[in-house]
Amino acid sequence: MNSKVALHTLGCKLNFSETSTIGKQFLSNGFEIVDFKDKADVYVFNTCTVTQNAERECRQLVRRVLRKNPEAFVVVTGCYAQLRPQEISDIPGVDAVLGSNEKFNLFNILNDFKKSELACIYVGSLNNVTDFGEAHSTDADSRTRAYFKIQDGCDYKCTFCTIPLARGSSRSMNPQYAVDEFKRLIDQGYKEIILTGVNVGDYGKSFGYNFFQLLTKLININGDFRIRISSIEPNLLTEDIIDLISGEKKLCNHLHIPLQSGSQDILKAMQRRYSVKDYEKIIFNANEKIEYLGVGVDVIVGFPGETENHFIETYNFLRDLPISYLHVFTYSERPDTKAINLTGKVEITEKKRRNKILRTLSEKKKHQFYKQMLGRDLDVLFEDELIDNKMKGFTSNYVRVINEYDQSFINELTSVNLNRITAEGICTGNILDTKNSIELILI
């Protein structure tokens, strides 16, 4: 009987693509991949270190799986492992700690998966690292949308961020190889490819290439598919990219554009590469050019020095922007960052209050966005993933959809007319591709 492995991802879409590649290593070596809630012989955690909560969750999950199977071999890798290997190795029950590069050579590093008294640490330096570390969705997972890593690392110096320390300098997949790998994903049947990276918009500079050029190549590949950009920095969202999205159906009319603060004072303290005015201009320009555009925004509350007036500036700025949802993060102190030494620390109770206010604003924005979509015919890609016995899907502009399970709609771009919002704030619509109208529920 094959040994069983369970994989768990903490953090961003980039981590999901890398977890798929880790899973493929296990499949190639005769393992069976099981759900994380099931009992396994090996557990692999691909970690994040953006917030203190992500690190705390990792420690809690390790303890949980060892209660389930005390003899399980536990591997921790990813950004947290790269930055705090000794801290992880001290967690009782952890057997191996692998750095950001080492996770791609897991089976070359680990000879067996037998527990020992002490954890082994395999974490190399990322100084002057040039290895890219290919990663994309594989048969190790069952999604109809594929995560495709095209870029890694970051050259930015934001004062709150540990990612450059955890992943090294910015580097990209060779452009021709990226096109070839993209074609393979299409040939495997994926209908939506999500381009991921630490700083996707920075793609290609070591090759004298850029992200716009890559997008132009990818949309000219034959096939019935669409491309979603996971996230892009506002200073890298060029006019050319906006124009390309506006005129190309294969590019999702959805952008996730980090802001972090609507106060110019706080943006400066964060060492971000744009101003509030720059950001506002980009959002309005994109909305004017791209039909039915969905816009997600990252924002941090409680950054050192953020006064109540700064927070009100951020709230008012976001309130007046044509955006569709927020990802709200509570600032947490990260070792080895400039921000940890800044004055004006915000109390945790105040951070939580501000977080709650912006989450409420996000719900209002989302409702307004859904209301604007009523009467529209939008393509939904249904996934073979159940929520309360219903299949789920997403529109191009990132409206989430669930419907009674029907295999014929799985992994198909299906036209849906959105026509109603219920008293509970839920939208319904009709599938247009069938003779009989089928009600959908949007969440």
Domain-located, residue 328: yes
Of the candidates 123, 34, 140, the residue with the CA atom closest to the CA atom of residue 76: 123
Q: Assign residue 208 a region (left: φ > 0; alpha: ψ between -120 and 50; beta: otherwise).
A: left
Q: Are residues 348 and 390 in the same domain?
A: no
| pLDDT tens readout for residues 57-80 | 888 888 889 888 999 999 999 998
What per-residue confidence (pLDDT) applies to 111? 78
Q: Are residues 286 and 367 in the same domain?
A: yes
Domain-located, residue 11: yes
Domain-located, residue 194: no
**What total number of domains does the chain contain?**
3
First to last CA, the chain: 41
Of 122, 145, 172, which closes a domain? 122
Q: Are residues 66 and 105 in the same domain?
A: yes
Q: Are residues 14 and 113 in the same domain?
A: yes
Domain-located, residue 415: yes
| pLDDT tens readout for residues 246-263 | 999 999 999 999 999 999
Domain-located, residue 269: yes
| pLDDT tens readout for residues 152-173 | 999 999 999 999 998 999 999 9
Residue 382, pLDDT above cutoff 80: yes
Of the candidates 331, 320, 322, the residue with the CA atom closest to the CA atom of residue 354: 331
Q: Are residues 352 and 414 in the same domain?
A: no
Of 318, 340, 372, which closes a domain? 372
**Region 412-431 average pLDDT:** 75
Q: Are residues 381 and 430 in the same domain?
A: yes
Confidence of residue 48 (pLDDT cuts 50, 70, 90): confident
Domain-located, residue 200: no
Residue 442, pLDDT above cutoff 60: no
Q: Are residues 360 and 415 in the same domain?
A: no
Cα distance between residue 303 and residue 158, in whole Å: 12
Confidence of residue 441 (pLDDT cuts 50, 70, 90): low
Three-state helix/strand/coil letters over the chain? CCCEEEEEECCCHHHHHHHHHHHHHHHHCCCEEECCCCCCCEEEEEECCCCHHHHHHHHHHHHHHHHHCCCCEEEEEEHHHHHCHHHHHCCCCCCEEECCCHHHHHHHHCCCCCCCCCCEEECCCCCCCCCCCCCECCCCCCCCEEEEECEECCCCCCCCCCHHHHHCCCEECCHHHHHHHHHHHHHCCCCEEEEECCCHHHCCHHHCCCHHHHHHHHHCCCCCCEEEECCCCHHHCCHHHHHHHHCCCCECCEEECCCECCCHHHHHHHCCCCCHHHHHHHHHHHHHHCCCCEEEEEEEECCCCCCHHHHHHHHHHHHCCCCCEEEEEECCCCCCCHHHHCCCCCCHHHHHHHHHHHHHHHHHHHHHHHHHHCCCEEEEEEEEEEECCEEEEEECCCCEEEEECCHHHCCCEEEEEEEEECCCCCEEEEECCCCCCCEEEEC
Q: Are residues 274 and 333 in the same domain?
A: yes
Domain-located, residue 92: yes
Question: Domain containing 32 — which CATH number?
Answer: 3.40.50.12160
Question: Domain containing 307 — which CATH number?
Answer: 3.30.750.200
Confidence of residue 438 (pLDDT cuts 50, 70, 90): very low
Which residue range forms the structural domain that includes residue 300? 254-372
What per-residue confidence (pLDDT) applies to 331? 96
Q: Are residues 86 and 15 in the same domain?
A: yes
Residue 273, pLDDT above cutoff 70: yes
Q: Are residues 316 and 263 in the same domain?
A: yes
Confidence of residue 212 (pLDDT cuts 50, 70, 90): very high
Query: What's the length of the chain?
Result: 443
Domain-located, residue 208: no
Of 122, 149, 172, which closes a domain? 122
**Region 195-219 average pLDDT:** 95
Q: Are residues 69 and 84 in the same domain?
A: yes
**Region 215-240 average pLDDT:** 97
**Region 226-230 average pLDDT:** 97
Q: Are residues 79 and 111 in the same domain?
A: yes
What per-residue confidence (pLDDT) applies to 387? 64
**Region 361-386 average pLDDT:** 90
